[in-house]
Amino acid sequence: MVVQSEARLIYDDGTEDIITFPDKTFSGVASGSTDQGTIQGDHLAVKNGWLVEWGFGGPKGPGTGASPRCSVWVVGGITPNPTLGVPWQRVLQGYLNGNDSVCGLGQFQPWTSDLWPEWVFLGTVAEDATAGTHVCTLTVSPGAGGSLEVLYASITKGNTATAQTARIYTTDGTNVLVDFNAGGNANTNASAQELIGSSYASSSDTQGKGIQNSAPTPFRISGGCQLVLSVSTTAVSVTQTFAVVARLYPATIPTAVLADAVGSPTLTTTTNLVV
């Protein structure tokens, strides 16, 4: 995303001045890493006066380039000494969206998780024919400085009548913190689903369509904590499907690892993007 900015000043003697800021390209979301930087106007104010207009994404026009919603956070400030590296007075702050938003002078948008960009992941673990207990997992880690607010998650079990036990839980990287379905839901229905963050609710699974778990959504995990979705079964050569939708802070794609405890599975990431 290319962020553009200009500011207009009116000096006490009535003359006007335009301060132009160099375009700044932010590409952190696309590369899966954070991206930040400071931009400074092409010159300093030369007289006493008033800052009357300033915007990011305008007045030259909206930022250009496809970008997830609210993936760039801008702060505008003024200082009598640019070498200090920090604003003396903050005069605007807020989010920018792709091509259609402007953050202007006097706008102070709160930093809220409701506006964090959303991450969508969909992946599969296709077991091989190795005998034993297959424990197929998706492990999602925000990483140092990151945070996830999980909105929805689901497991679609393999197409087999052999018993399969699904679990959805969080860890601190080692220990289970919250087990959302108390050790797992086991059944012999082919392609049954385990869901959190869904309005579907049933105490049984007679149609093989799903069982609602008691996870409160949204819920947040940060840093070294992990969200784990797993299916364990002695069935072989079936495919387990995992999906997660979460809000991200910062707009950094988390680490999502698919695995099977035995054999040599085929691991497929279908979707891994910020929207």
Residue 32: predicted pLDDT: 42
pLDDT per position as a tens digit, 135-187:
999 999 998 888 889 998 999 999 999 999 999 899 998 999 988 876 677 88
Residue 58: predicted pLDDT: 40
Locate the domains of the chain by residue range. 2-111, 118-274
Nearest in space to 76 (alpha carbons), one of 96, 46, 100: 96
Residue 29: predicted pLDDT: 45
Buried b (16+ CB within 10 A) or exposed e, 140-155: bbbeeebbbbbbbbbb
Q: Which amino acid is at 127?
A: E
Q: Mean pLDDT: which of 34-43, 49-58, 97-106, 252-261 is highest? A: 252-261
Q: Give the number of other CB atoms < 10 A from CB of residue 35.
A: 18
Percentage of the chain beyond pLDDT 90 is: 41
Q: Is 85 left (phi over 0), alpha (psi -120 to 50) or beta?
A: left
Please give the Cα distance from 221 to 219 (Å, whole number).
Answer: 7
Q: Which amino acid is at 71?
A: S
pLDDT per position as a tens digit, 203-240:
444 444 444 445 567 888 999 999 999 999 999 999 99
Residue 69 has pLDDT above 90, yes or no: no
Phi, psi of 113 (to 5 degrees): -65, -20
